[in-house]
């Protein structure tokens, strides 16, 4: 591989092989809108010559927010500023993919005003720090990812990346460390991958056949009874069959 030569991921043609990994910038407004400072930052990255920029994680729902000044993407109102950013990045010769995420266990409850939710209830001393998701919660969240990816496409991004790493919601379902459910979303690798695959299928359906859909996942969470490489090989193959364009392991 020659890193300074053009590369492609699905329909994205990049001027080189360098990718700026998703990095929360903390530059959105306190309501989660793209700001002038964030646009300026992205344009600087594009002008610097990076082949592909992946944005910091954008929350797909209010309850899934991780931090203040994180981009949000669950309403049309977010579109104009995001459209302006993607236009300016493209004019600067760059390519930009939006990462969409739900923080799950790590949602910032003082910001969301709701209990965090994840695969299995978690308690610390006497208090519940994370409630177990119901099948209705799961369906609602799959829809939130699908709507967010539709908005990503509308906003002019070159693709979407689903955040399924670092213990956030989708990765917590993959990991037996967090997920001890007894229903069809827990137990075997197939069951633990189900939620992510439902999200992938819903995102593919809402963005159409040719829009690049990337997934970020980790292959090991280095936790007791955590996820390992064999499970992740299963998950990666299932995602490929479900129409994912590329999976990034970090
Ligand atoms: C300040 C900071 C913010 C980050 N924000 C995100 C994020 O929003 N989404 C994500 O998937 N990873 C995020 N990451 C993780 C990076 O994308 C990357 O996976 C991690 O730094 C490991 O790569 P490295 O070994 O090259 O540093 C962040 C990392 C840092 C240091």
Domain count, the chain: 1
Is 7 inside any structural domain?
no
Order of strands, sheet of 117-118, starting from the edge strand that comes earlier in the sequence: 117-118, 127-132, 122-124
CATH number at residue 182: 3.20.20.70
Whether 165 lines ligand 1, by a CB cut-off of 6 Å, is yes
How far apart CA 108 and CA 189 sit, in angstroms, is 28
Q: Are 245 and 10 in contact (CB under 8 A)?
A: yes
CA of 24 to the centre of ligand 1 (A): 7
Query: pLDDT by residue (tens digit) across 145-186?
Result: 999 999 999 999 999 999 999 999 999 999 999 999 999 999
Is 227 inside any structural domain?
yes
C-beta atoms surrounding 69 within 10 Å:
17
Tell me if residue 117 falls in helix, strand or coil.
strand
Is 103 inside any structural domain?
yes
Q: What averages of pLDDT result for each successive group of 10 residues across the chain (250 residues)? A: 92 96 96 98 98 98 96 98 98 98 95 94 84 97 98 98 96 96 96 97 96 93 88 92 84
Structural domain of 242: 13-249
Of 23, 27, 42, which is best to mutate to test ligand 1, by the most ligand atoms within 8 angstroms of its C-beta?
A: 23
Is 168 inside any structural domain?
yes
């Amino acid at each position: 591989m020659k890193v300074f030569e053009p590369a492609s991921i699905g329909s994205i043609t990049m001027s080189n092989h360098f990718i700026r990994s998703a990095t929360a910038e903390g530059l959105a407004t306190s309501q989660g809108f793209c700001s002038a400072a964030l646009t300026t930052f992205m344009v600087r990255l594009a002008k610097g010559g990076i082949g592909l920029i992946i944005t910091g994680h954008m929350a797909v729902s209010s309850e899934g927010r991780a931090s203040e000044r994180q981009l949000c993407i669950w309403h049309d109102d977010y579109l104009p500023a995001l459209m302006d950013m993607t236009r300016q990045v493209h004019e600067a010769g760059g390519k930009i993919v939006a990462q969409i995420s739900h923080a799950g266990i790590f949602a910032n409850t003082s910001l969301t005003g709701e209990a965090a939710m994840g695969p299995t209830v978690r308690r610390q001393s006497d208090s519940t720090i994370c409630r177990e998701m119901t099948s209705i919660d799961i369906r609602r969240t799959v829809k939130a990812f699908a709507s967010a990816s539709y908005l990503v496409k509308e906003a002019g991004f070159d693709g979407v990346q689903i955040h399924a790493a670092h213990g956030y919601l989708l990765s917590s379902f993959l990991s037996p460390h967090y997920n001890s459910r007894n229903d069809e979303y827990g137990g075997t690798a197939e069951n633990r991958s189900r939620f992510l695959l439902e999200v992938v299928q819903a995102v593919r359906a809402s963005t159409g056949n040719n829009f690049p859909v990337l997934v970020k996942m980790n292959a090991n969470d280095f936790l007791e009874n955590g996820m390992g490489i064999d499970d992740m090989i299963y998950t990666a193959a299932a995602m490929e069959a479900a129409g994912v364009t590329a999976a990034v392991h970090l």
